[in-house]
Every structure is written in C-alpha cells, then in structure tokens.
Chain A
C-alpha cells in the first residue's frame, strides 16, 4: 500500500476528460486505489471549475512593496535592539540612583520635606532649622539632570 500506482495519473486524466480506454477500465476494476480516485475525480473537477473568486487578487507590486516595508521595519527593529536594551539599563540605573539616594540620605530627605511645613519655615527664618548636607543637593541635582536627559531621549526616540 506504500507504492504509488503507476496508472493513477492516467486514471485521473481519463476521469477528468472522459477518455477511458478498455485497459484503464479493466485496471480500475482491479485496483482499489484507482477506483477510489476515479470515483471522486469528476466531482473534484467540477469543484475546481466553479471559480468563486469575485474580486481581483491584490497586485504583485503592492505585495512586494508591503513585504519590503515589513522587511525594513523588521531590520530596523533588529538594529535598534541594543539601543532598547541600553535604554532599559539606563532606566534601571536612574531608578536605582533615586532609590539609593533616598535610602542613603533618608534623614536629609525627611528634613528637606519637613522644611516645607509652616513651623519649619518659621524656624528657618529664625535661623534654628537643622541644615541639610550639601551632598544631598548635589546628588539631587545629578539625578534630576540624568532623569531629564533620559526622558528627553525617550520622547525624541519615540517621535
């Protein structure tokens, strides 16, 4: 059952074109495989002839152009992958910087936040408010600069 019957193509052609010979008829009577092929071949032929496409196919040029655009898009995505990875690393570094600064200088942060309350403002005016270390302000300034550069880069890259 694994060998292709050598008469199958002739049987299919005969069934399609109604070109039966006595030899083929005898063969079909003996060959189960060819009998099965012949029994459905005319119907399959009619099915194939009933063309159901009621609209034209898209033009080849449009498909070619779209494929080129998709290809370029894929290439651009591949090329920009290292930059994307670098960008995510930068986000991670900046976020870690902020978290580190807040944890390391928590006392200073707390003092700085409390300095906006009315009581602290009065104390500050009278010169008795605790001083916030200069390293805290330097850290804030560096992180704000880096965050802004990163944000600007993200916005421009998306545009």
Chain B
C-alpha cells in the first residue's frame, strides 16, 4: 500500500498537464492537504499499533507532520514524502519509548492502552501485539498492513534492506509464538 497508493490529484496536477514527471515543487497548503488526506489515517493506525495508546498516536501524528513540514520538502513524489513521514514517525515513536523507559528507571514498559478499551476484544488483540518489541510491531505492521516492500520497511525503520528479511522472519515467528500462547493456532494455508 505504501507504494501502491494512487497519487492525489493535487500532487498529480503538474504531471497531468505536462505529460512528464513533475519538477520538484515546494510544499503548499493544497499539496499538503492532499498528502495528509491520503496518509494521516494509515499513519495514525501505525502509530497506535506501535504505541498502544490513542492519545500518544494523536500526538506523534501531529509531530510527524510538523517534522515533515519543518524539513520544507519538495514534492518529488508522494512516495518520497511518505517514506520521510514514516521514518520521522518511527523515530518519534522510538524516542517516546526511550523516554518512557527512562522515566520508569529502565523497567519493562507496562501496557499503555486505556481502561476504556479493556473490555473490548480489540484490547486483547492489542495486548498480544504489545508482547512484541516496538521494532517487531513496526516491521509486521508495515509488511502486512501497509504492504510495504523490504526496501520501504528498511527506509522507514532506518535499517538495511538486507536485514529486513531476517528481522521480519523473526518477528513473524515471535508473533506466531505469542498467538499460540494465547490459544491461537498457527493459521496456515488450508
């Protein structure tokens, strides 16, 4: 999805009129709105699954977009901006985890989801997902939900593309083990 998503009209205007690849354009409000509409929902879900806390996801979402705008990017392609945005969001999320860990004196992080969700089945799914390390959650979410390829995952997480395959394999094995622990058998081809 990261690579397959269609470009919004505002980002395509130049390409449509000239019939060739659009030159690098500075970001303006219309381009930003189009980009925001196409990415904010999925980025929020990613941040929420990474942090387990909707308020933190809201906060990090805004910070990610501020960071993108502060970098004063040129609109080379939506893909380019998307990669930058996911990289910024991942860094901010990992900074958040480090800060939480420091505040808790290096102890293991407790689950951060709200009590309001605790009666929900979704909470149980998030709890299982939270058993994984943040990087494993990020890898799985990007691979399975965003349908990002290994290069895109590597760019978002700041790791080598070659390492993604091994790390993703381990993350999948870890999730399978967690699911098994909670009574979910392996779901393989019928």
Contacts and interface: CB of A to CB of B under 8 A. Distances in A.
Contacts of A61: 29, 33
B175 A52 contact: no
Interface stretch (A1-9, A86-94, A98-106): A1-9
Contacts of A117: none
A76 to B, nearest CB: 15
A43 B61 contact: no
A37 B186 CA distance: 11
Interface in A32-77: 32-33, 35-48, 50-55, 57-58, 60-61, 63-64, 66-67, 70-71, 74
Interface in B173-187: 173, 175-176, 179, 184, 186-187
Interface stretch (A20-28, A121-129, A137-145, A146-154): A20-28
A39 B172 contact: yes
Interface residues of A, number: 47
B108 interface: no
A45 B145 CA distance: 7
Interface in B51-72: 54, 58, 61-62, 65-66, 69-70
A48 B41 CA distance: 12
A109 interface: no
Contacts of B33: 60-61, 64
Contacts of B166: 1-2
Nearest to B61: A57
B32 A51 contact: no
Given A24-B189, A48-B45, A64-B32, A40 B144 contact: yes
Nearest to A3: B165
B43 to A, nearest CB: 9
Interface of A: 1-4, 9, 12, 14-15, 18, 20, 24-25, 28-29, 32-33, 35-48, 50-55, 57-58, 60-61, 63-64, 66-67, 70-71, 74
In the A-B complex, the 10 residue pairs with the smallest Cβ-Cβ separation, listed nearest first, are A44-B144, A60-B36, A36-B172, A67-B69, A60-B33, A48-B145, A39-B186, A50-B122, A25-B189, A42-B187
